Amino acid sequence: MLRLPVYLAICAAGLLGQTVNISLSGTATLSVPNFSIIGTGTISGLGNATLSGGGRVDSSGISGASTGPIISNIALVFPDGAILYGTLEVPSGVLIPQVGGTTTGLGRLNILGGIGRLEGARGTFTSLDGTVNASSTTSTTFTLTGTGTLGTGQKVLPQFVSGGGWYTALYFANSTATAVSFPIAVTGDNGTPLAVAGFPNNVSIPAGGSVRLEARNVGELSQGYVAVTPPVGVTGYAVFRQSVAGLPDQEAVVPLSPVGARSTSLTFDDTNFVTAAAIVNPSTTSTTVTVTAKNAAGASLGSGTITLSANAKTAVVLRNVPGLSAVAGSAGTATFTVTSGSVAVLGLRFNGPAFTSIPASN
């Protein structure tokens, strides 16, 4: 019987999340020096999932307890295709114990990311409570449970506009069985809070529900970016709308960008269009962003730098950045890099009054 105290700590400061119960059960099978894990997992509010994973173990595990800690890569796949992935770590002799032996120790589960509705999930279960039974020297069954908070990383909408002919709406959906509430902050280009009439400071969504937040086309033009840390199971996107007298309104769907990367890239086509980028420095210190462009063949088109103060944002036309004039008339990739802090980017492509967004990937 393996008895472990339970507590959970979020691995990054500033995370929001929801309290969840987690249960993992299955079988670990050893075939020196590799082992595999198959089973099931359940997370309250998120549902049941298929558990799979594997790794390598000290060869002594074939005849008795493993002599070193075991780290397994794991994935929890939910019926709708959403995935949580990370690592499961247990000390020597726990996951692969001696036959009939009693094992004790602390298990650790690191949730490193997610796919689908669980994109951006983060969390660290630093100890788990469970039982481990070895049926042979090569097979052991286990059940692990814990309770704590599972969170996500911050995301930003790098370009936010209202007034002066522009409208921005943000849409969020809660796919979990629990109501959620989380703050939302609008920051101006200069890095200071931006007050927007009618725009809330907090978002509340019922279980299985959705919400629309609107910054209407009223008054003078206001620009900035939006920062939000949605709980696990909450997804979102934005819509820009430009209204010009005598022309049909133009709209574009805009993805939210994850925060935390020091490098992010977008693919552009500046042959018959104009490519712009909204660049956010979500850090509390100033930074210099290096922009490097390559053509479709991978050859350099040049590079340039943009300096941003703490929490600031700018929007630039790529071909107008000093050192990037060769972007005009070319197609390729642009990479935005900082040496400290992080950067978030959204690309925009214009064809006269028509425009659309270009997602960036870390």
CATH at 315: 2.60.290.11
Residue the block writes with tokens 């691995």:
11
C-beta separation of 312 from 188 below 8 A: no
Q: Say which DSSP state 153 is in.
A: -
Number of domains in the chain: 2
pTM, 2 dp: 0.67
pLDDT reading at 50 higher than 60 = yes
| C-alpha to C-alpha distance for 1 and 283, rounded to whole angstroms | 47
Domain that holds residue 123: 7-152
Biggest CA-to-CA distance, the chain: 81
Of the candidate ranges 60-69, 131-140, 332-341, the one whose mean pLDDT is the lowest: 60-69
Choose the final residue of a domain: 152, 184, 216. Answer: 152
Which pLDDT does position 16 carry in this prediction? 34
**Residues 37 and 165 grouped into a single domain:** no
Which pLDDT does position 138 carry in this prediction? 73
Distances (CA, A) of 79 to 7, 50, 199: 28, 8, 36
| C-alpha to C-alpha distance for 153 and 136, rounded to whole angstroms | 41
C-beta separation of 175 from 117 below 8 A: yes
Residue 245's contacts (CB-CB under 8 Å, 6 or more residues apart) are none
Which pLDDT does position 227 carry in this prediction? 93
Which pLDDT does position 2 carry in this prediction? 28
Q: Which of the four pLDDT bands, split at 50, 70 and 90, describes residue 4?
A: very low
pLDDT reading at 99 higher than 70 = no
pLDDT reading at 247 higher than 80 = yes
| C-alpha to C-alpha distance for 77 and 278, rounded to whole angstroms | 34
Do the domain assignments include residue 220? yes
* Best mean pLDDT range from 73-77, 80-84, 193-197: 73-77
Average pLDDT over residues 280-305: 96
* Complete DSSP assignment for 51-116: EEEEEE--GGGGTSS-SS-EEEEEEEE-TTS-EEEEEEEE-TTTSSPPTT-------EEEEEEEEG
Q: Which of the four pLDDT bands, split at 50, 70 and 90, describes residue 1?
A: very low
**Residues 107 and 202 grouped into a single domain:** no
| C-alpha to C-alpha distance for 130 and 109, rounded to whole angstroms | 13
Other CB atoms within a 10 A radius of the CB of residue 221 amount to 11
CA dihedral 119, 39, 12, 21 (to 10 degrees): 100
pLDDT reading at 10 higher than 90 = no
Residue the block writes with tokens 């990370």:
86
**Residues 64 and 179 grouped into a single domain:** no
Token duo for residue 191: 């890095």
pLDDT reading at 8 higher than 50 = no
Token duo for residue 306: 């943009």
Choose the final residue of a domain: 152, 181, 199. Answer: 152
**Residues 164 and 293 grouped into a single domain:** yes
Which pLDDT does position 186 carry in this prediction? 95
Q: What is the mean pLDDT of the chain?
A: 83
Do the domain assignments include residue 112? yes
Rounded to 5 degrees, φ, ψ at 325 are -65, -25
Pairing type for strands 234-242 and 166-174 reads: antiparallel
| Higher per-residue confidence, 62 vs 223 | 223
**Residues 192 and 301 grouped into a single domain:** yes
C-beta separation of 253 from 357 below 8 A: yes
Which pLDDT does position 14 carry in this prediction? 28
Do the domain assignments include residue 2? no
Choose the final residue of a domain: 152, 187, 217. Answer: 152
pLDDT reading at 311 higher than 90 = yes
**Residues 51 and 122 grouped into a single domain:** yes
| Higher per-residue confidence, 13 vs 23 | 23
Give 215's strand partners. Answer: 168
Average pLDDT over residues 109-130: 76
Of the candidate ranges 53-57, 249-253, 294-298, the one whose mean pLDDT is the lowest: 53-57
Q: For residue range 126-173, what is the model confidence (pLDDT) as tens digits?
A: 777 767 776 666 777 888 888 766 777 778 999 999 999 999 999 999
**Residues 119 and 168 grouped into a single domain:** no
| C-alpha to C-alpha distance for 278 and 84, rounded to whole angstroms | 30
Residues of the chain with pLDDT > 70, as a percent, come to: 83
Token duo for residue 63: 């005849």
**Residues 168 and 74 grouped into a single domain:** no
| C-alpha to C-alpha distance for 1 and 106, rounded to whole angstroms | 13
| C-alpha to C-alpha distance for 189 and 261, rounded to whole angstroms | 20
**Residues 168 and 279 grouped into a single domain:** yes
Pairing type for strands 234-242 and 202-205 reads: unpaired
Which pLDDT does position 106 carry in this prediction? 65
**Residues 113 and 178 grouped into a single domain:** no
Do the domain assignments include residue 21? yes
Average pLDDT over residues 329-348: 94
Q: Say which DSSP state 146 is in.
A: E
**Residues 276 and 212 grouped into a single domain:** yes
